[in-house]
Structure 1
Amino acid sequence: MPLALLLPLVTACGGTAGADGSKTVTVTVGYQSKTINTVTAGTLLRSLGYFEEELAARGKKDGKTYKVKWQDYATGAPITAQMTAGKIDIGSMGDFPLLINAARGKQLGQPTRLVSVTGYNLRGGLNTVVTAPGSHLRSLADLRGRKVSTSVGSAADGTLVRALKKAGIDPEKGISKLNQQPSVGASALTGGSVDALSQFVAWPGQLAYEGKAKALYDGADLNLPTFHGVTVREKFAEERGGVLDDFLRAQRRATDYLRKRPVAAAESVAEETGLPAEAVYLYNGAHGIATFDPALRPELIAALKKDVPILKAAKLVGDVDVDSFVDPEPLKRATHTPAYPKAGAAKSELWLKGQDSTRTFDSPKQLLKALKGAEVRAAYVPDALTGTLWFADRAVWVTDGSDLRAFVTPSHAKTYVERHAGARVVSYADALGLAS
C-alpha cells in the first residue's frame, strides 16, 4: 500500500483523516470545465456522476469508501504541475500539453501515461484563429507584424506556429506573440489590444456566437489530427489500477451518453460552465467539430509524434518517447469495447427553440430554406472545403449558380470563388433570400 494511504492526515491523493484512514481512498481528478473537448472525462462526467457510481460499486466489494475530488483549471499546464507534485491522479488536456505532461513527469520522477482520448478532429478543426468582427484582416498572411494572443505550449499555439510557417511567416519574428490565458486573450481581442487570437475549443466558437469575433483561419487547413486525452500518474495506475479502470468505464459511459443525447449533453455542459449551449453544441453536437471516442487511434498517436518537434523548437520539451507514454492496456482491460465508427461528413443542422433534438439537411441551401419563419436557436453549416461546422449566420456565403455554399473563413470563400467561374461571395441575408 502506498505511503500516502497510510498517513493519518488528509493528503491530496488517496488519504483521509481518522482511525479508518486505510478504508477511505480519495481520487483527485484535474479537468478543464470550459475546454469542452474534454467533457467526457471532466464536466459532463462529473455532472452525470458515473465515476462515483463505479467507485461505489467497487466499495461494496472491497469495503472501502471512495471519494472523488474534482479540480478545475483553465489549461493543461497547472494540471501537469499538480500531477508531477503527486497531487492529481488523473487529468485531461490537449495533445501539446500531453507531451509536456509526459516530459515533465519523466523529468521530475512522476512519470505519466496517456490512457484514453476524449474528443478529436482528424483534420485539426478544433483550433481556430479569430479576429475582431470589424477587422480588415482577411487571411493568415495578413498577420505579419501583428499582435496575436495565444497560450504558449497549447494545441492552439501549435496550430498557429504550423500555420504561420505554412504561410511563409516566421512564428517568432514575423508576429508579436502574446502568451496569455484564453480568457485574457479573449478580453484583449474584444478590447482591441491584439489583432487576432489563436485558441482551442470552445473559445473561438463562443466568441463568434457572441458576435465578438470572426474566424480568420480554420485549423482544419493543416489536415493534421488534434485531440484531447486522459493522462494518469504511473504510480497511481500501478497501485490503483482498478480505480483507473472505473474511471475509464465511466468515461465510456459518458461518451455513450453524449453520442446518444447530444442536445441534453450540451445543455448540461452549458449549465455547469456558463458557456452558451449553442457554442457547446457547435463542437460537441451530433455533427460537431469534435468526435468523441476514448480509443487511442493510430492516426492520433502518429500526429502526437509530429507535435514533438514543434515543442522542442520552442524549448518546452526535449525528446519525448511517445510510444512509452501511450498505454492502451487500461482501456482495453476496462471497457472491452471497440472504437466507435469514424465520423462521417458533417451535415447542416438546425436547432429550434424549445426542441430537445435537431434536424439535419443534406445541403446548406435546404437549411436556409427551413429557417424562414422558424424560431431558431442555432443553425450550423459545414465548410465546403474542410467540413468544419460553423454557425450559419457567422459563415461566409458563396452563390454558385443555383447552389449556396458556406465557409468558415474569407480565405476559404476566396479559394472557392477563384476556382469556380461565376461564383461570388454574398451576405448571409442575401443567401437567405436566394435560398427561398
Structure 2
Amino acid sequence: MKHKAVATSAALLLPLALTGCGNGGDTAADGGTVTVTVGYQSKTINTVTAGTLLRSLGYFEDELNALGGKTTYKVDWQDYATGAPITAQMTAGKMDIGSMGDFPLLLNAARGKQLGKPTRLVAATGYNLRGGLNTIVTAPDSKLSTLKDLKGKKVSTSVGSAADGTLVRALRDAGLDADKDIEKLNQQPAVGASALSGGSADALSQFVAWPGLLTYQGKAKALYDGAQLDLPTFHGVTAREDFAKRRPAVLEAFLKAQAKATDYLNEHPVEAAEKVADATGLPAEVVYLYNGAHGIATFDPALKPALTAALKKDVPILKAAKLTGDVDVDAFVDDRYVRKALGTAAYDKQLAAVPAPAASEVWPKDATETKSFGTPAELLAYVAGHKDAIRAAYVPDATTGTQWFADKAVWVADGDQLLPFVAPATARAYLAGHDGAEVVTYAAALERAS
C-alpha cells in the first residue's frame, strides 16, 4: 500500500502562520497546513514502533489523513543518534513528539520543567523488565572475565544514558565505584565501539543495539548481562505538554498509529526486522535479537507501574552524576492520551499483560518465519543437522532469560542438559550451585546435542 510522501525539512519553510509546531495557535480549526515534528533515533531500535518502523509503515500519516476536515497535515521526521538533541528541540518549541530511553526521558522531564516547557511521558515502546537491553562487553580476545577486573581500566559509555546507569549499578554491586575505580570515557556509542576495537577502551557499556551488533560482528563478547540487575529498562514517547493540550487529536492519532505499528511488529517480527534493517543499515539478525518474537525487548505502549517505579529508582543515579536534580516522575508520566487512543479495556489488558518467556529460536536462510524449540539442546540438534542453512540462532540465558546468539553464548553442560548464558558471570553463578557442571565450547555443545 502506498502512502502520501512524508514531508522533509522543506516543510519547515512553510509560513509560520500555517504551521502547527511552536506557534501557540490552533490552525486546525481554520484549515491550512499543520506540520507535526517527530524526533526519533533510528538505530535505537527499541523505539521503532514510534520511529523507524512507524515511519516506514506510514501509519501516522494514515491516521492524520483520517482526521478529515480542511486541515492538511505533514509530518517532519527528524532522526538523531541520541535523546539529547531531541530534548533540546522539544524544549525550544521546535519538536512536538520524541522517543528515547529511560534515563534521557528523565533528563527530558527535568529540562522541560527548568525551561518552562514541560513535557510528558505518554507511552512506552520497547522494554525489558530485568534490564537486558544494556550490556557491558569487552574485546573478543580480552582476558577480563569479571566486573572486578575492570578496576583501573578504561570503560566507554554515554554518561546520562541507561547504559551508564547499568555500569554504575553493576560496578557498585561488585564493590567498585564508577567514579573512582575505573577511568570512564564519556563517548557516543559509535565512538565507544571504535575505541573498543582500537584498544583505547578496555570495555564498553552500551544500550541496544550496540552490544548485540559488536558481538554479531565478532568485535566484542559479553562481560555483563544487564538483566543481572533485575531492574526494568525501557524506551518511551514524550510529548510537549502545550502540544498535547493544543492538539490532543493529533497526539491521539500518533498513539493509535504507534499501537498499529506495535501490532505489526508482534504479528510479523521477521518482516519488521527486515524493514528496520533496510532503514538503518543494521543487520536484520541483530534487529531480530532485540525485536524478534522472543527478543530481548517486549513492545507494548502501556505505561506499566513497573516502568514508572524504575524511573524513580533512576533519578538518584542522575542526581549523583550531577546531571539533574529532583524529578517529579508522577507528574511526568501521563497515560491519559494512550489510554484514550487504545480504549480503556484494551489499555487495562495491556497493563496487566506479562511478557512471554523467551524461547530458543532459529532463523533459517531464505525463510520468512523462524522455528522455535522447547529447549536449547533441541535447537543445537537442529543447528548441527542444518549448519549451512542457518541465518541466525538465538537462545535465552538459563537464568536471566536474555536472548543471545547461540554461537556467542557461554555454554554449560550439566548432565544431559546444555545451558546457554550471555556472560561468564551468569555461567559461573550456575556452576557454583551445580556440582559436575562444566563450561564447554559451542562446537562441543553442538556435538553433544547431535
TM-score (structure 2 length as normaliser):
0.93
Query: Within the alignment, does 1:418 sit opposite 2:425 as a pair?
Result: no
Separation (CA, whole Å) in 2 of partners of 1:8 and 1:298 = 41
Alignment of 1:279-358 (within 5 A): 279-336=286-343, 337-338=346-347, 339-340=349-350, 341-358=353-370
The one of 75, 91, 98 equivalent to 2:98 is 91
Query: Within the alignment, does 1:399 sit opposite 2:407 as a pair?
Result: no
- Quick one: which amino acid aligns to residue 169 of structure 1? L
Aligned to 1:51: 60
Note the alpha carbon deviations across 1:204-241, whole angstroms, 9 max, x for none.
00111111100000000000011000000001001011
Structure 1 residue 21, shift from structure 2 partner: 9.4
Separation (CA, whole Å) in 1 of partners of 2:369 and 2:146 = 36
Separation (CA, whole Å) in 2 of partners of 1:358 and 1:106 = 46
Separation (CA, whole Å) in 2 of partners of 1:77 and 1:139 = 32
1:5–1:21: 8 Å Cα contact kept in structure 2? no
The one of 393, 400, 418 equivalent to 1:379 is 393
Identity of aligned residues (%): 69
* Between 330-339 and 99-108, the greater mean CA deviation after superposition: 330-339
CA distance 1:211–1:201, shift in 2 (3 Å): same
Separation (CA, whole Å) in 1 of partners of 2:127 and 2:16 = 40
Structure 1 residue 335, shift from structure 2 partner: 1.4
* Between 367-376 and 109-118, the greater mean CA deviation after superposition: 367-376
The one of 258, 261, 265 equivalent to 2:268 is 261
Cα RMSD after superposing both structures? 1.8
Aligned to 1:429: 443
Any stretches of 5+ residues in structure 2 without a counterpart? 1-12
Aligned to 2:34: 25
Separation (CA, whole Å) in 1 of partners of 2:369 and 2:277 = 16
Aligned to 1:200: 207
- Quick one: which amino acid aligns to residue 217 of structure 2? E
Separation (CA, whole Å) in 2 of partners of 1:251 and 1:224 = 25
Structure 1 residue 7, shift from structure 2 partner: 3.0
Query: Within the alignment, does 1:39 sit opposite 2:48 as a pair?
Result: yes
Structure 1 residue 334, shift from structure 2 partner: 1.2
Note the alpha carbon deviations across 1:305-333, whole angstroms, 9 max, x for none.
01111101111111100000010100111
1:14–1:24: 8 Å Cα contact kept in structure 2? no
- Quick one: which amino acid aligns to residue 273 of structure 2? A
Structure 1 residue 372, shift from structure 2 partner: 2.2
Structure 1 residue 13, shift from structure 2 partner: 5.0
> Aligned with 1:99: secondary structure?
helix
Separation (CA, whole Å) in 2 of partners of 1:388 and 1:192 = 27
Alignment of 1:119-130 (within 5 A): 119-130=126-137
Aligned to 2:8: none
> Aligned with 2:413: secondary structure?
strand
Separation (CA, whole Å) in 2 of partners of 1:97 and 1:117 = 13
Structure 1 residue 419, shift from structure 2 partner: 1.2
- Quick one: which amino acid aligns to residue 447 of structure 2? G
CA distance 1:38–1:311, shift in 2 (3 Å): same
Query: Within the alignment, does 1:242 sit opposite 2:249 as a pair?
Result: yes
Separation (CA, whole Å) in 2 of partners of 1:43 and 1:32 = 8
Separation (CA, whole Å) in 2 of partners of 1:77 and 1:396 = 35
2:396–2:404: 8 Å Cα contact kept in structure 1? yes
1:96–1:307: 8 Å Cα contact kept in structure 2? yes
Note the alpha carbon deviations across 1:94-132, whole angstroms, 9 max, x for none.
111000000000001110000000011000000000010
1:8–1:21: 8 Å Cα contact kept in structure 2? no
2:393–2:405: 8 Å Cα contact kept in structure 1? yes
- Quick one: which amino acid aligns to residue 425 of structure 1? V
Aligned to 1:361: 373
> Aligned with 1:372: secondary structure?
helix
Separation (CA, whole Å) in 2 of partners of 1:227 and 1:151 = 16
Note the alpha carbon deviations across 1:134-185, whole angstroms, 9 max, x for none.
0001011111110000000001011111111111101101100011111111
Separation (CA, whole Å) in 1 of partners of 2:61 and 2:434 = 56
Any stretches of 5+ residues in structure 1 without a counterpart? none
1:13–1:27: 8 Å Cα contact kept in structure 2? no
Structure 1 residue 373, shift from structure 2 partner: 3.5
- Quick one: which amino acid aligns to residue 33 of structure 1? S
